[in-house]
A and B are shown apart, each in its own frame.
Chain A
Amino acid sequence: MVLTEEMAERYSRHFVLKEIGVSGQKKLLQAKVLVIGAGGLGSAALMYLAAAGTGVVGIADFDRVSLSNLQRQVIHSSGDVGVDKTLSAEKFISRLNPDVRVILHNAKMTVDNIQNVISGYDFILDCTDSFESKFLINDACVLFKKPYSHAGIVRFEGQIMTYVPEKGPCLRCLLGGVPPRDGSITCSSAGVLGAAAGVMGSLQAIEAVKYILDIGDLLVGRVLRFDALKMQFSAFDFPKSDSGCAVCGANPQIRSLADNRAEYEGTGCM
């Protein structure tokens, strides 16, 4: 592929990084990354993936922008209240970087559609807001062999890890399954600091770029936790998968998403 003069100027700050250079930029421009969830995590991830010149960015969301989103979902604007999040995010990306081709998946990810959606991408970002969707994405990525970034955020804390097939544990190795719903925690009562979501979403974009360029150390077998109040990052090493894991272990019980449908159903917000 040939880079235009305009691209050379736009990405000049990548060219001087020895880990990226012109050849790395070409890899980014040919990469296809899917972001599931254009909310608090997804806003930051999408903005930075677009800025970096990711060739194809897929956005999966079924929701519309509401006013309370704008405290943290910075890819949307006041004028977008009521608009589909996918359209609103696409508008932002087109204005930032016309080199990026945006593909919209205006639907909730389910057992019936997720395989088709993720199949077209090199790397997936889980930017969703419930453990049910996080486990659906995890299991789909394990079953269909896609690398992905997991992250979660609430109040002032979050965690992030990266799954690469065969290289380290998946989310189910670590957590076992979707935790039972705790009636005392709801979306609106728990709250979240916008910039903390931005930090985690930005870290997810960084992992995607590193995966595409094959640079640095990915958070494979490693969970990075962020506490915004203490201003601490803590890393926890879990290098080995759980051989008894129900989806990625030696004798998996989950061999198809349909088999496990009930676990993935449930409403958003933790």
Chain B
Amino acid sequence: MVKVNGVQLNIDGKTIAEYIKTTQYDIRRIAVERNGNIVPKSEYDKVVLKEGDSLEVVGFVGGG
């Protein structure tokens, strides 16, 4: 199980990009941190989530 924003999810083995595609997040307007480190966008389709990982995902909007 992988913890995403505090919630346990069964997404072991998926890349970050694969997981995000299953959500409502716009992949171009989010920041992702895995186990305390920011994941650069270029790595979203390379990082494979594993048991015990902890992700923080936050969306950004640009209006003012």
Contacts and interface: CB of A to CB of B under 8 A. Distances in A.
Contacts of B31: 174-175, 223, 236, 238
Interface stretch (A48-56, A80-88, A99-107, A148-156): A148-156
Contact of B60 (A126, A175, A192, A244): A175
Contact of A242 (B30, B40, B57): B40
A129 interface: yes
B41 interface: yes
Given A131-B62, A134-B62, A176 B41 contact: yes
A151 to B, nearest CB: 7
Interface in A117-172: 126-131, 134, 151-155, 157-159, 169
Interface stretch (A37-45, A90-98, A205-213): A37-45
Contacts of B5: 234, 236
Contacts, number: 90
A223 B57 CA distance: 10
B27 to A, nearest CB: 9
Nearest to A225: B58
Nearest to A40: B64
Looking at chain B, what size class is its interface with the partner chain?
20 to 34
A173 interface: yes
Looking at chain A, what size class is its interface with the partner chain?
35 or more
A240 to B, nearest CB: 6
A69 to B, nearest CB: 12
A236 B63 contact: no
A239 interface: yes
B9 interface: no
Given A37-B64, A179-B26, A244-B40, 8 more contacts: A128-B64, A129-B64, A152-B64, A153-B61, A159-B60, A174-B31, A234-B5, A237-B33
29 contacts: A40-B64, A42-B64, A126-B64, A127-B64, A128-B64, A129-B63, A153-B61, A153-B63, A153-B64, A154-B62, A174-B58, A175-B29, A175-B30, A175-B41, A176-B41, A179-B28, A179-B62, A182-B26, A223-B31, A223-B58, A234-B5, A234-B58, A236-B33, A236-B58, A238-B56, A242-B38, A269-B63, A270-B62, A270-B63
Interface of B: 5, 26, 28-31, 33, 36-38, 40-42, 56-64
